[in-house]
Structure 1
Amino acid sequence: MTRRVHEVMTRNPVTVERRTSLAEAARVMRDAGIGDVLVVDEGRLCGILTDRDLVVRALAEGRDPAETTVLAVCSAEPLTVGPDDHVDEAVDLMRRHALRRLPVRTGSGEIVGIVTLGDLEVERDPGSPLASIAAAEEVRER
């Protein structure tokens, strides 16, 4: 039987409001030990910001992290999956669009999780090197 996204996703993803500064978002990521935050506008998903976005789209372009908002550099309107979607659907979507993470939201738009390459690798092959790294990160974050 095929597993569902809610069985492998990371629950309660970290979010920041769209007007949050890049500097504050970086601190949030550092403090949570994560490489991405979901960008919201009054609870509605409007983007995803990764540590790579901070470097490539902000610092390398000379933007001031204290003055630039996350909305200015995040990937807007990210693709999402539902908690009851099949894991295979998430994998296919990630493969076709070269994505490393997918926000998980319900039909009503509530953000309930995020599914990452690490989550999927743990599901596919718990003994793989990527799964070991993902498992170590999960323990460290608790």
Structure 2
Amino acid sequence: MPRRVSDVMTVAPMALPLDATLDEAARVMRDEAIGDVLVTYAGRLCGVVTDRDIVVRAVAEHRDTALTPLGDVCTAELAILHPEDDTATAVRLMRERAVRRLPVVDTFHRPIGIVSIGDLALVDGDWGVDGAGGVDGAGGPLPAICKAPPNN
């Protein structure tokens, strides 16, 4: 039986407002040993910024990270989950979107959790992902997600 997202998600994910700077996000990532920060506007999820975003979309473009707001480099087109979704939905979305983390939101679109590829890898080994993206019991979701093309 698939588990619910609420059973495997990390609660209280780190979030910063849209106008916070890349420096602030980088410090949070360092201090919390995480690779992403959710971006909010008026408490509602509006994006996500990853350590890779900071490198590729800011540092490599010679942006001033002390002045650049998260809104300039965050990914705004997000796949999201709700706590009642099952983990197979999370696997499918990660595979389709080639992402390794998915925000979990409440009915008001406020971030309440995050599900990572690592969270799904720890789910009971009695299910996996078949070649068509379905659940088949063959080794868990990690191989299928990792084979997806990168999201640039």
TM range (shorter): 0.7 to 0.9
Alpha carbons 1:45, 1:77 under 8 Å: kept: no
CA distance in 1: counterparts of 2:67 and 2:28, whole angstroms: 16
Distance 2:48 2:110 in 1: 15
Q: Which runs of 4+ in 1 moved over 4 A?
A: none
Q: Is the 8 A contact 2:44 2:108 kept in 1?
A: no
Give 1:111 shift: 1.4
Q: Which residue of 2 aligns with 1:28?
A: 28
Specify the SS of the correspondent of 1:76. Answer: coil
Separation in 2, partners of 1:82, 1:21: 28
Matched ranges for 1:72-83 at <5 A: 72-83=72-83
Does the aligned pair in 2 maintain the 1:47–1:76 contact within 8 Å? yes
Correspondence 1:10-49 to 2 at 5 A: 10-49=10-49
Distance in 1 separating the partners of 2:65 and 2:16: 15
Given the two structures, how large is their TM-score scaled by the length of structure 1? 0.85
Tell me the number of residue pairs that the alignment of Structure 1 and Structure 2 aligns.
Answer: 127
Percent same amino acid at aligned positions?
52
Runs of 5+ unmatched residues, structure 2: 126-139, 143-152
Kept in 1, the 8 Å contact 2:105–2:113? The answer is yes
TM, length-normalised to structure 2: 0.80
Partner letter of residue 22 of structure 1? Answer: L
Q: Which runs of 5+ in 1 are unaligned?
A: 131-142
